[in-house]
A and B are shown apart, each in its own frame.
Chain A
Amino acid sequence: MNYEEMKQALIEAAEAAGVREYEIYSEESSAQSVETYLHEISQFSSETGFGICLRCIWNGKPGYAATEVCSKEEAARLVSAAIANAELIESADEVSLHEAGDTYEEKTTQAEETAPTKDLIRLALACQEAAYAADERVADGTQSAVMVTEKTVRIYNSRGLDLKNRISGSAAYVSAIVKQDGSMYDGMEYRFAPIPEISADETAREAVERAVSTIGAGTAATGRYPVVLKDTQMGALLRSFFEVFSAENAQKGLSLLRGREGENIAAECLTLVDDPFYPGYPAQQPFDAEGVATRKKNVIEKGVLRTLLHNRKTAAKAKAASTGNAARAGYAGAVTIAPYSFYIEPGTQTQEELFAKAEGGIYVTQLQGLHAGTNAVTGDFSLECRGFVIEGGRAARPVQSFTIAGNFFELLKKIEAVGNEVKFGVPRGGTRYGAPCVRVSEMAVAGE
């Protein structure tokens, strides 16, 4: 049974059960990845997936049931499961489905065609050879990987909506290990770009340089210092704390930004943007997980909180319009909230200018354990780092095995300067986080 047949089976089963309001959300995906070890391909994997979720509104309550099995019996089972699940819901929140009629912005970048497997293999091997060639200390254990993914999302509902969007992504990683005097050092670099545009040499060289740069690293001394956070790491912090910008978390009392729209919550140099149509991004999304038209907006503008991110439910509660940020964590997940390309707008400062006013401070190039060392409810974080001591206006001495600790809301206010180039992290679903390097006036460091 294919998607269309399963859709019809679900519609028939829903109508037969007396369900008047329903939505059929599905994701069809495929992914391929190749991994190298030593000088050959060690692993190849290829995945095709399909999942479908029925969401019904039953006596005003939402009920979900999802499956990967397509058959008439399964469609009937899904309808009764969704009804039973709706009957458990106690929340008084008003929930409804989105009616067709939105005008959707045109995508400026289409999803890529999936690259042939041989191109993945060629790039992965080229990365691997380039890594070995980059430095004689590069050791076995060094690995390169290349992957491509694509996903087609479909939303159909009983209020006339029938939408489809295809997104894609492709990336290469080099994880380099170098050995010196019996110790091992590692460095990772990635590129998220169409396969033909990825330079194996550049990616591999940067990974190896990163590993080599940690040789002889000491530990930072415990104290308070100015800190320059590397672009990717500031983006990683945004990823860990994005929920503070979710209206759902705010309404539930899980974000300290509740009711603070219009207030100064960050330094004036900080503008935070959410853009579903970021130029060149092959995962642009004209509609959100409820089918609402999406748009670019400033979440923080020159330090002022302009809006939280809304879906239909939170918008109705706040008597506002949805910002088109409904999202699902996979086809089976409930409708929640997520951004698209969520990034700090670049400023004007070069790396040198950022370093110039951070003499004696620390350039943090890697944060670890973000899933455990951050708490979006409190804003607190305490994170393992790697980086460099800034001396003479440059990243002078490598340091590791130290932590930075603070509070995300305080950090937003302590950002003094913003770099001039945004770098994005690897997307998950259609969401990715980006930032330029930023200088923070002071942070607590624990080390030696």
Chain B
Amino acid sequence: MIEIAKELAQEVLDAALASGADFAELYAEDTRQNRISMVDSGIDAVQDQRKAGAGVRILKGTRSVYASTALLTREGLLACAKRVADTLDSVRENDGVRLDERIFGDVHPIRIVPSSVQGARKADLLREACYAAREYHEEISQVQGSILDVDRRILIANSEGLYTTDRQIRTRISVNAVASGGGENQSGYYAPGRRMGLEMFELISPKEVGRKAARQAVTMLHAGYCPAGKMTVAIENGFGGVIFHEACGHSLEASAVSMGQSQFAGKLGQQIANSKLTAIDDGTIPNAWGSMNIDDEGVPAQKKILIENGILKSYMVDRLNGRRMGLPSTGSGRRQDYTFEPTSRMTNTYIANGPDRNEDIIASIEYGLYAKSMGGGSVNPVTGEFNFAVTEGYLIRGGRIAEPVRGASLIGKGSEVLMNIDMIGQNLMTAQGMCGAASGSIPTDVGQPLIRVSSITVGGR
């Protein structure tokens, strides 16, 4: 529990404003994280962490000062406020902040709060997943798994009078299976998660998680190398959405746009993608991995259409970069924890269903790659050069999915690839990832239906 009374929060904000800032914010957090890990068919580690502290931020125009502390006492908070205030020189009369409590409500109900459940029950769920992977095939030589739950309580107060709290619970299971043979290893990975408690396992079968990871490892052990060069590629739904996350998403974050560090700066209202493409960032989806009630600046989550039929409609904006751009926050201010200053980030970001039938997409490709499972990626927003890893691929020959091929990276330039996404199917699905950027590592969903990219560089060998 975070116990910072309104009066203390006011005092902290007043102290932070003492030297002439025009905005002050207090963010406090008390997070419990529990991760049980398994290897060699036995539980081998339990990580149990409580992270508690606060960050005080002031803004003056487009300059920001941030300080954080692990001391949630009155002295700790006031010292933190003084540290930020002292870095600004001028002194201003301050009328005093008056806070009004606001309750934004919770659209992400939690039925089974993980901290109320014995570790042994979580271990059973993990065991089920890992054993299923182990039993999938005799070539499976090792299985690592973990079950994670996070219970994050935040309190946000600012000099505009906001005083509010939120509690964010999420659960994730992951399995990494290794198949061995002929002096080689290949691996398979699957890690679904939700902004839910343990009721998540009523939707997601641990056994299926294990089997999915194992199937991928065994398939890849018997696959050849992926060919190299420019190809037509069909990218499957779910984590395939990482292509949009990297090729476009990061470049639409105000942190890049406001500083002129984005290929899409100044392009609102212009066509930046194929006219079949509509993309959305939606932080409001109940219980989705990247969802929240309020962002880490206390702004309610929103659903934003980023691109509609190829036309750029919106950026993802946080408070500070919004000041630089003259735009209001879109509820996109996020941070890993109190040691990070918030900035604009994605939530659940996906390409919407399109006009093409999935079977037509595969049939349209004479020779190409079918990318079934994807890993992470990265992007340089300045130039738009991006990459992401295919972890399970198949060649397409004569309009049919043929033999499996091992992983390779797909690379390209965002502005070109968005135009090359020329067929969009109808099986939209999202998948979970952790996105790393300036304000730390945060949970985000990526997603899309099956899509076709007419030409992209395949980093095979």
**A89 adjacent to chain B (CB < 8 Å):** yes
Q: Is the CB of A382 within 8 A of B408?
A: yes
Q: Is the CB of A446 within 8 A of B457?
A: yes
Chain A residues near B51 (CB-CB < 8 A): 51, 68
Could you say which of A43, A66, A86, A400 has the most chain B C-beta atoms within 10 Å of its C-beta?
Answer: A43
Q: Is the CB of B63 within 8 A of A40?
A: yes
Chain B residues near A444 (CB-CB < 8 A): 228, 460-461
**A256 adjacent to chain B (CB < 8 Å):** yes
Q: Is the CB of A382 within 8 A of B39?
A: no
The CA of A247 and the CA of B183, in the complex, are separated in Å by: 18
A378-B186 in contact given A42-B62, A50-B70 (Cβ < 8 Å): yes
**A279 adjacent to chain B (CB < 8 Å):** no
Q: Is the CB of B185 within 8 A of A377?
A: yes
The CA of A50 and the CA of B50, in the complex, are separated in Å by: 12
Q: When the two chains form the complex, which single residue of B39, B48, B389 contacts A65, counting CB atoms closer than 8 Å?
A: B48
Q: Is the CB of B259 within 8 A of A402?
A: no
Q: Which of B26-49 contact A (CB under 8 A)?
A: 36-37, 39-40, 42-49
A334-B457 in contact given A184-B383, A368-B378, A371-B376 (Cβ < 8 Å): no
Chain B residues near A181 (CB-CB < 8 A): none
Could you say which of B119, B180, B228 has the most chain A C-beta atoms within 10 Å of its C-beta?
Answer: B228
**B407 adjacent to chain A (CB < 8 Å):** yes
Q: Which of B377-433 contact A (CB under 8 A)?
A: 377-378, 380, 382-383, 385-389, 406-409, 411-413
Q: Is the CB of A368 within 8 A of B375?
A: no
Q: Looking across the interface, which residue of chain A has its beta carbon closest to that of B29?
A: A68
Could you say which of B87, B187, B382 has the most chain A C-beta atoms within 10 Å of its C-beta?
Answer: B382
Chain B residues near A333 (CB-CB < 8 A): 47
The CA of A21 and the CA of B317, in the complex, are separated in Å by: 51
Chain A residues near B64 (CB-CB < 8 A): 42-44
Chain A residues near B339 (CB-CB < 8 A): 47, 49
Separation in Å of the A335 CB from the closest CB of chain B? 9
Chain A residues near B411 (CB-CB < 8 A): 384, 401-403
**How many residues of B are in contact with the other chain, CB < 8 A?**
78
Q: Is the CB of A89 within 8 A of B378?
A: no
Separation in Å of the A372 CB from the closest CB of chain B? 4
Q: When the two chains form the complex, which single residue of B42, B53, B407 contacts A90, counting CB atoms closer than 8 Å?
A: B42
Separation in Å of the A364 CB from the closest CB of chain B? 13
Q: Is the CB of A141 within 8 A of B407?
A: no
Q: Looking across the interface, which residue of chain B has its beta carbon closest to that of A177?
A: B382
The CA of A391 and the CA of B144, in the complex, are separated in Å by: 47
Q: Is the CB of B413 within 8 A of A401?
A: yes
Q: Which of B74-119 contact A (CB under 8 A)?
A: 83-84, 87, 119
**B230 adjacent to chain A (CB < 8 Å):** yes
Chain A residues near B376 (CB-CB < 8 A): 369, 371-372
The CA of A38 and the CA of B385, in the complex, are separated in Å by: 24
Q: Is the CB of A117 within 8 A of B87?
A: yes
Q: When the two chains form the complex, which single residue of A68, A93, A143, A177 contacts B70, counting CB atoms closer than 8 Å?
A: A68
Separation in Å of the B369 CB from the closest CB of chain A? 12
Q: When the two chains form the complex, which single residue of B50, B87, B142, B375 contacts A69, counting CB atoms closer than 8 Å?
A: B50
Chain B residues near A219 (CB-CB < 8 A): 457
**A320 adjacent to chain B (CB < 8 Å):** no
A446-B460 in contact given A184-B382, A401-B413 (Cβ < 8 Å): yes
Chain A residues near B406 (CB-CB < 8 A): 380
**How many residues of A are in contact with the other chain, CB < 8 A?**
77
The CA of A89 and the CA of B47, in the complex, are separated in Å by: 11
The CA of A144 and the CA of B37, in the complex, are separated in Å by: 40
The CA of A84 and the CA of B120, in the complex, are separated in Å by: 10
A66-B49 in contact given A88-B120, A177-B382 (Cβ < 8 Å): yes
Separation in Å of the B259 CB from the closest CB of chain A? 5
Chain B interface main SS type: strand
Q: Is the CB of B375 within 8 A of A372?
A: yes
The CA of A256 and the CA of B142, in the complex, are separated in Å by: 13
Separation in Å of the A358 CB from the closest CB of chain B? 19
Q: Which of A339-376 contact B (CB under 8 A)?
A: 368-369, 371-373, 375
Chain B residues near A69 (CB-CB < 8 A): 50, 52, 72
Q: Is the CB of B185 within 8 A of A256?
A: yes
The CA of A47 and the CA of B67, in the complex, are separated in Å by: 5
Q: Is the CB of A64 within 8 A of B48?
A: yes
**A319 adjacent to chain B (CB < 8 Å):** no
Q: Is the CB of B65 within 8 A of A405?
A: no
A382-B63 in contact given A141-B259, A222-B228, A405-B228 (Cβ < 8 Å): no
Q: When the two chains form the complex, which single residue of B66, B142, B408 contacts A46, counting CB atoms closer than 8 Å?
A: B66
**B328 adjacent to chain A (CB < 8 Å):** no
A382-B141 in contact given A67-B50, A88-B43, A402-B457 (Cβ < 8 Å): no
The CA of A256 and the CA of B144, in the complex, are separated in Å by: 16
**A186 adjacent to chain B (CB < 8 Å):** yes
1/0 per residue, CB under 8 A from B, across A184-203: the answer is: 11100000000000000000
**A19 adjacent to chain B (CB < 8 Å):** no
Chain B residues near A380 (CB-CB < 8 A): 406-407
**B219 adjacent to chain A (CB < 8 Å):** no
Q: When the two chains form the complex, which single residue of A86, A87, A139, A447 contacts B457, counting CB atoms closer than 8 Å?
A: A447
Separation in Å of the A218 CB from the closest CB of chain B? 13
Q: Is the CB of B378 within 8 A of A372?
A: yes
Q: Is the CB of B457 within 8 A of A48?
A: no
Q: Which of A399-445 contact B (CB under 8 A)?
A: 400-406, 444-445
Q: Is the CB of B387 within 8 A of A368?
A: yes
A44-B259 in contact given A67-B49, A333-B47, A382-B389 (Cβ < 8 Å): no
Q: Is the CB of A48 within 8 A of B68?
A: yes
Q: Is the CB of B260 within 8 A of A141?
A: yes
Q: Is the CB of A89 within 8 A of B44?
A: yes
Q: Is the CB of B228 within 8 A of A445?
A: yes
Q: When the two chains form the complex, which single residue of A45, A81, A90, A256 contacts B67, counting CB atoms closer than 8 Å?
A: A45
Separation in Å of the A29 CB from the closest CB of chain B? 9
The CA of A44 and the CA of B40, in the complex, are separated in Å by: 46
Q: Looking across the interface, which residue of chain A has its beta carbon closest to that of B64?
A: A43
The CA of A359 and the CA of B382, in the complex, are separated in Å by: 31
Q: Is the CB of B461 within 8 A of A405?
A: yes
Given contacts A82-B48, A139-B260, list 6 more A-B pairs with CB under 8 A: A45-B341, A47-B67, A85-B48, A334-B45, A382-B389, A446-B228
Interface residue ranges, B against A (CB under 8 Å): 36-37, 39-40, 42-53, 62-70, 72, 83-84, 87, 119-120, 123, 141-142, 144, 176, 178, 180, 183-187, 226, 228-230, 259-261, 263, 339, 341, 375-378, 380, 382-383, 385-389, 406-409, 411-413, 436, 457-461
* Pairs of residues from A and B, 10 with the lowest C-beta to C-beta distance, nearest first: A403-B459, A446-B228, A444-B461, A372-B376, A90-B42, A384-B387, A85-B46, A141-B260, A332-B49, A369-B387
Q: List 25 A-B contacts (CB under 8 A).
A: A42-B64, A45-B66, A49-B68, A86-B46, A91-B40, A91-B42, A140-B259, A177-B260, A184-B383, A185-B383, A186-B380, A222-B229, A254-B142, A256-B183, A371-B436, A372-B389, A373-B389, A377-B187, A378-B186, A382-B459, A401-B412, A403-B228, A404-B459, A405-B460, A446-B408
